Chain A
């Protein structure tokens, strides 16, 4: 008779103890979960992603100003500051004014108060006192590993600007392809040097090169314009050196001032072209071309000409990529040309996609 109530009291007591134990276990789990969540938030979640969908890239640089362009997600507010020699300059609408000539400026583009992209550029010097380094690429815009590699190798040369001999985007320079074919692969390069493009067949195929012209705010049409970088003049002719381009080049090369002149055209200029005597008389240091997917160096009617057509797209069928007769050097290696233009002459160095020197010429 007495055993029943004692057993009846023991059962709720055990239940209570079990409840206490379960509650304590739950508390431990809550704390463990809290620790995991805090650790996850503070140490495992990465920083906010890249707010830029394009660039920022250096669009233009001259002696006292520079222009940067970008596209940004969600209309975020971007502030660009450039600095050199202990002095900072704040950009207005991407335009930096009041810069000192011949200086390397570092820049930082900040979103929400912290730098989201950085780079540097060199303003043009007034006179040719020290060598100016620039790069030349061509037939590159395919968005493949070779293009990325060439872009990295040339970025390491810290060029002042980059000339392109056309075919900037394959198969066509449609607006939707430019990020994939130009701005992404060449991102490290474009953060420090403006791209100075002329146009090839693949660029002109899409509305006469409208997309390239708009993206790089080019002054001329169909890749025909003149660019000055301090004492260097570059005359870009577009697809080929025909009669109209001949007149354009003659007028541009008559302008006084430059210490060195270069010409860029997509299709290589062949012997007998009437433009060659004009270039020779004007003292053009070299012609840079593309179109043929090879690297070639040759002298055509007394004018030094480089074909830089291996910066990304590649040779393809060798039956259509034969070496040019009379070329001093003709190679299929992917790469780009580094040019050091100084008061004592010009040094041309072709670097392959691994950074090796393939060809070198001092003139």
Chain B
């Protein structure tokens, strides 16, 4: 799943960068495109997280799908693409970070 999360991280970071430079309504087009990519790739990641079942991974993938939808609908609903993209970017390394901390605490 790492390549999928890596791709999502790249897309989310790109959305944040574009949203920081472009103002509304110019930002909504690239944001929607990024949202479509996030939604599709996260759907694949979610499927991979289900077999075998990994709750945290699946939850972050589902959260990324929601962020993708929010970016697609950012224009009509007036949602901020910067914040949505930042949340999507933050979700990608989360399972790895939590997993590392758990491994360390078990080692102690």
Contact = CB atoms under 8 A, between A and B. Distances in A.
A84 interface: no
Among B41, B42, B47, B50, residue most surrounded by chain A Cβ atoms (within 10 Å)? B47
B51 A24 contact: no
B40 A20 contact: no
Interface residues of B, number: 16
Contacts of A31: 36, 39-40, 72
A27 B39 contact: yes
Majority secondary structure of chain A interface residues (helix, strand, loop or mixed): helix
B28 to A, nearest CB: 15
A16 B44 contact: no
A20 B36 contact: no
Interface string A8-40: 000000011001111110111001000000000
Majority secondary structure of chain B interface residues (helix, strand, loop or mixed): helix
Contacts of B65: 27
B27 interface: no
Nearest to B45: A20
A18 to B, nearest CB: 9
Interface in A31-88: 31
A141 to B, nearest CB: 51
Contacts, number: 35
Interface in B13-70: 36, 39-48, 50-51, 65
Contacts of B50: 19
Interface residues of A, number: 12
B4 interface: yes
A28 B41 CA distance: 10
A19 B48 contact: yes
Contacts of B47: 19-20, 22-24
Contact of B48 (A16, A26, A27): A16
A23 B51 contact: no
A21 B3 CA distance: 13
Contact of A26 (B41, B43, B51, B72): B43
Contacts of B43: 23-24, 26-27
B50 to A, nearest CB: 8
A16 B49 CA distance: 10
A28 B51 contact: no
Nearest to A20: B44
Contacts of B46: 23
A27 B40 CA distance: 5
Nearest to A19: B47
Contact of B51 (A19, A22, A27): A19
Interface of B: 4, 36, 39-48, 50-51, 65, 72
